[in-house]
Amino acid sequence: MSDYVLVLENVRKVYKTGEVETHALRGVNLAVRRGEFIAIMGPSGSGKTTLLNMIGSLDVPTSGRVLIDGVDISKLKPKEMARLRNQKIGFVFQQFNLISRLTVYENIELPLIPRGLPRKERRVLVERALLRAGGDKSWFPKRPTQLSGGQQQRVAIARAVVTEPPILLADEPTGNLDRASAAKVLSTFLSLNKSGQTIVMVTHDPEVANCAQRILIIRDGVIVKEMAPVFSRCIVNTVGKAT
């Protein structure tokens, strides 16, 4: 098994609208080791979300290759791609994307349904995921709207990790949170990462990025710089001990 869970080789992405071409990515190379925590920063329109979509197999490159656990995703059929996403990748979004009509338990359980696991086995995985995400089992019968923003995001993290994917992708996961709630979410990420979870996170917030192990700066579709984080400036430390 390779040390690298994720590899991008000269990835380019061009979107065409009529006669207009938009070059979203212009030759991105990236290698992420198992268990790394990477933050990606850049101005609006720099290609951050497009890059995350490539990593998450939500889109395929115009040219170049994306390898997830050694598999070139561009060669997969739609069903194979969907299976890879379910098994290899967890997603955390800025908007939480929880289903309001479902309970917290049902939201976390959702990615397990296609696997046909027995109910008892699903229960064990759901409970483990919420605990890993820093949540509380007393939340299970509640609807997402009965929770705070920070609690909803931790439920979203639990849903993302319930299938125990090797890669966790987070797109502005603290964008809708106050600083105290953001610190708690980042504390959760650090705990997950300490247990071996690979995390790739897009953020505009330097205090959030400083919690990662590497910071990559993207501009105009190209990774232009890699920075060493200053952990003392991580939001977990600047806000105070997150609990």
In a domain, 17, yes or no: no
Question: pTM for the whole thing?
Answer: 0.92
Dist. CA 156–CA 100, nearest whole Å? 12
Q: Would 177 be classed as within a structural domain?
A: yes
With CA atoms as reference, report the closest residue to 182 among 226, 134, 136, 236: 236
Indicate the number of domains in the chain: 1
pLDDT at 8: 96
Give the list of residues 6+ apart from residue 161 with CB closer than 8 angstroms, or none.
90, 129, 132, 133, 168, 192, 197
Does 116 map to a domain? yes
- CATH classification of the domain holding 223: 3.40.50.300
Percent of the chain with pLDDT over 90: 83
What does the alpha-carbon distance between residue 243 and residue 235 come to, in Å, rounded to a whole number? Answer: 13
State the average pLDDT over residues 237-242: 72
Mean pLDDT in residue range 93-104? 94
Residue 149 has pLDDT above 90, yes or no: yes
Assess if residue 101 is contained within a domain: yes
> Is 104 a member of any domain?
yes
pLDDT at 1: 57
Q: Is residue 186 part of a domain?
A: yes
Quickly state the pLDDT bin for 243 (edges 50, 70, 90).
very low
Q: Which domain holds residue 105?
A: 34-54+77-239
CB 208 within 8 A of CB 174: yes
Q: What is the pLDDT of residues 42-86, one digit of tens each?
A: 998 999 999 999 999 888 899 999 999 999 998 899 899 988 888
Whether residue 2 is contained in a domain is answered as: no
Is residue 42 domain-resident? Answer: yes
Question: Does residue 155 surpass a pLDDT of 90?
Answer: yes
pLDDT for the residue numbered 242: 45
Sign of the four-CA dihedral 115, 166, 194, 188: negative
Q: How far is CA 86 from CA 6, 90, 112, 164, in A?
A: 16, 8, 9, 10
The tens digit of pLDDT for each residue in 178-209 reads 999 999 999 999 999 999 999 999 999 999 99
